Structure 1
Amino acid sequence: MRADIFCRVIDNYGDIGVCWRLARQLAREHGWRVRLWVDDLPVMARLAPGIDPKAAAQRADGVDIVHWTRPAPPLEPGDVVIEAFACDPPAEFVQRMQDQVRPPVWVNLEYLSAEAWVENCHALPSPQPGGLRKYFFFPGFTPATGGLLRERGLLAERDALQADPAARAAFLRDAGLPEPRDGERLATLFCYPDAPASTLADVLADGDTPTLLAIPPGVAPYLAAGARGRLRIARAPFLPQAGYDRLLWSADLNFVRGEDSFIRAQWAGRPMVWHIYPQAEAAHVDKLHAWLRRYPVPAAASALQTAWNGDAGAARFPQLLAEALSPAVFEPWRKAAHAWSDTLATQPDLATQLAGFCTARQENHA
């Protein structure tokens, strides 16, 4: 099966993060010939070392990568065309899709949402000009959705690292990060600029448990590396996707943002706090609460999520954080996060579901 995946980089690393993982998994695990169209190669190059940000076309990790320019390169469509997050393939490419004797299966890969309505919209077709049909494919948390991206063997790798303190220490050293001291909690911070990160640092510095906080480049730049109170801040290097996964696995608590790191933090099976991408008219608040209704954690941990996002209880963020990190809440939260990851893993992963969906419709087009 030959597939084109189109990606416009909007949320820095979130959009391309999802598309790059999907492209590699379809190629590695399903034997597809995948061509990934990206409009911002410099951003992708940070996620994927070895990518040439100036190349018009290249191949990496079994995936053909095309710089999506205007006008777009005059390439023929594959058997499947996936537009990520309604990014609209070039009009001339869509025209070539219409001209095919056997039109490709056209899929719009939607943003992840835990809202109930996505179950009714998942896999629905939408008639398009020229006799084409576009299918809406919704990632999600239930069997009535397309599931979540999860590579084969991912959780076994996670379990092996989390069960091996020496391997964890070696990973942190290789990543250029200090190892947590005895009794010190490792936390990671990846958030948007409006997050109350200064308040987070203040609470951790005054907390009962020492914390090592790893922060990647460009995030909360006002939080300098160094120690104050019970907090040590380490500026983490930018890690490729596999390295970031391992950082999440190694941590005791992860603050994440957007979609890609949000999904990966759930596979880490560790307590996590999500900074959701802000949307007009506070539409993101409904999405946050929809996920919290599914995420089976203590009430204090759930309240912390809304406060972190500037919603209900924002003024009480310091108090809610201190409560969520108390042993009485954090230990049940830790167990619930791991159980949630195991529950999600009982569903087929997104790439497998998408491959099956497209194959079935391609056969129907024959």
Structure 2
Amino acid sequence: MSVSWDIFCSVVDNYGDIGVTWRLARQLVAEHNQEVRLFVDDWVSFTRIHPEAAPEASTQRLLGVEVHHWTSEWPDILRPADVVIEAFGCPLPAVYVEAMACRTVQPLWINLEYLSAEAWVEDCHGLASPQPNGLKKFFFFPGFTAGTGGLLREHGLLERRQTFRMSTVERDAFLVQLGVSVRPGERLFSLFSYEMPSLHDWLDELTKSAEPVLLLIPEGRVLGNVARWAGYDRLMPGDVYHRRQLRIHIIPFRQQDDYDRLLWCCDFNAARGEESFIRAQWAGQPFIWHIYPQDKRAHMLKLDAFLDRYLVGLSPAAGQATRVLWHAWNGEGSLGQAWREWMPYVGELTAHAESWCARQAEHNDLASALVHFHVERLSYSA
């Protein structure tokens, strides 16, 4: 059954918010035959992750999704959809909410929350919040357990990843598209993070690696830290820097499907925020998370909540080394020392990353969970 969906995205974290909502919108159309409109207020960020978008058009259809540039001049002629998603608590236009309340059949109003591994999420997932105008808003939490909404995962994603990894030709062709040439024996790492004052400690350690390392860095906020370490004013896509065992190659910012392939190419991935954090997990390789910083260290509680789940099954030594490294990566501890103490467990952590990926794939994916939630609400109303 085709249902209409309106998804609202107010971009806060550069590409994380729009990255999640754009993947979700695409999947609802491609895999569930839904009618989806995506409203995004930051058109520049959207066109970065989907370059095929026309920068001058305020409304366009892309991959089956009707995408709107959401501005303060809201077109009140738009009729609210059957399902309305406010992504990450972004406030909806007042005139739109009024129109929602006037519908004969009230829409399903969902507040799609940020991803969290904290225990309280299961208790709040799916709860209703009555609104003054008679509508109900439901809280929907992505997560890592069967009691949450799951993670974004397209159908056949892990099979496509495996096929890509097994094809040397396909992998090499992709790297050639990036302008990357891999030397014999090099291990591939990727780095996508926020600004990191302590990054120089990690880069110093990579120059002393037992095996040569090729570090692939999509253009982004961390480039200033990398440039200062390398002694440059700035670094641009195409630039290559070499010091001892480390080569650094700056690559252009990639659209989402290409970013997945980049992660699949690498032996280790550094991710940030929410969207790339999830994709690094589906890559099935050791990874690290640069979590979005919050006041009063609230982000570190979320980091540890995830680690409490993720480290289950590892040896105590590997688990402790991973926790120390993740804390250091997020500004708490000596990053160079943490990396040295983590490296002996890479083999165990590689197997663990694939096992974690497989266990998460046993849960329902986020798009399917949302569709099912709507069907359940229809049944409940009837």
Give the TM-score normalised by structure 1. 0.96
CA distance in structure 2 between the aligned counterparts of 1:8 and 1:212, rounded to whole angstroms: 35
1:195 shift after superposition: 5.1
Residue 272 of structure 2 is aligned to residue 270 of structure 1: no
Q: Which structure 2 residues correspond to residues 1-366 of structure 1 after superposition, within 5 A?
A: 1-74=3-76, 75-179=78-182, 181-194=183-196, 196-222=198-224, 223-224=226-227, 225-296=240-311, 297=314, 298-299=318-319, 300-311=321-332, 314=333, 316-326=334-344, 329-365=345-381
Note if contact 1:41-1:54 (Cα within 8 Å) is conserved in structure 2: no
Residue type of the alignment partner of 1:301: T
CA distance in structure 2 between the aligned counterparts of 1:111 and 1:178, rounded to whole angstroms: 37
Classify the secondary structure of the residue corresponding to 2:223. coil
Unaligned runs of 5+ in 1: none
| Cα deviations by residue, 1:142-200 (Å, 9 ceiling, x for unpaired) | 00000000000000001111122222111111122222x22211000011113522222
Note if contact 2:293-2:299 (Cα within 8 Å) is conserved in structure 1: yes
CA distance in structure 1 between the aligned counterparts of 2:139 and 2:20, rounded to whole angstroms: 16
1:54 shift after superposition: 2.6
Residue type of the alignment partner of 1:324: W
- Worse-matched range after superposition: 104-113 or 222-231: 222-231
Alpha carbons of structure 1 residues 17 and 195: separation in structure 2 relative to 1, 3 Å = farther
1:277 shift after superposition: 0.2
Give the TM-score normalised by structure 2. 0.92
1:230 shift after superposition: 0.4
Task: Calculate the aligned-residue CA RMSD, in Å.
Answer: 1.2
Note if contact 2:196-2:222 (Cα within 8 Å) is conserved in structure 1: no
- Where does residue 237 of structure 2 map in the other structure? none
Note if contact 1:125-1:133 (Cα within 8 Å) is conserved in structure 2: yes
Count of residues paired in the alignment: 360
Note if contact 1:103-1:365 (Cα within 8 Å) is conserved in structure 2: no
Classify the secondary structure of the residue corresponding to 1:131. coil
CA distance in structure 2 between the aligned counterparts of 1:133 and 1:43, rounded to whole angstroms: 31
1:317 shift after superposition: 1.5
Residue type of the alignment partner of 2:94: A
Classify the secondary structure of the residue corresponding to 2:111. strand
Residue type of the alignment partner of 1:104: P
Residue type of the alignment partner of 1:208: A
1:281 shift after superposition: 1.1
CA distance in structure 2 between the aligned counterparts of 1:140 and 1:32, rounded to whole angstroms: 23
Classify the secondary structure of the residue corresponding to 1:115. coil
1:363 shift after superposition: 4.3
CA distance in structure 1 between the aligned counterparts of 2:25 and 2:257, rounded to whole angstroms: 15
Note if contact 2:112-2:139 (Cα within 8 Å) is conserved in structure 1: yes
CA distance in structure 1 between the aligned counterparts of 2:370 and 2:276, rounded to whole angstroms: 21
Note if contact 1:26-1:34 (Cα within 8 Å) is conserved in structure 2: yes
1:346 shift after superposition: 0.5
| Cα deviations by residue, 1:298-323 (Å, 9 ceiling, x for unpaired) | 22122211110113xx1x21111122
CA distance in structure 1 between the aligned counterparts of 2:142 and 2:126, rounded to whole angstroms: 10
Q: Percent identity?
A: 49
Note if contact 1:207-1:322 (Cα within 8 Å) is conserved in structure 2: no
Alpha carbons of structure 1 residues 303 and 361: separation in structure 2 relative to 1, 3 Å = same
| Cα deviations by residue, 1:221-255 (Å, 9 ceiling, x for unpaired) | 24253100100000011110000000001100000
Runs of 4+ in 1 over 3 A off after TM superposition: 362-366
CA distance in structure 1 between the aligned counterparts of 2:180 and 2:380, rounded to whole angstroms: 52
CA distance in structure 2 between the aligned counterparts of 1:360 and 1:305, rounded to whole angstroms: 39
Classify the secondary structure of the residue corresponding to 1:325. helix
CA distance in structure 2 between the aligned counterparts of 1:323 and 1:187, rounded to whole angstroms: 18
CA distance in structure 1 between the aligned counterparts of 2:95 and 2:253, rounded to whole angstroms: 37
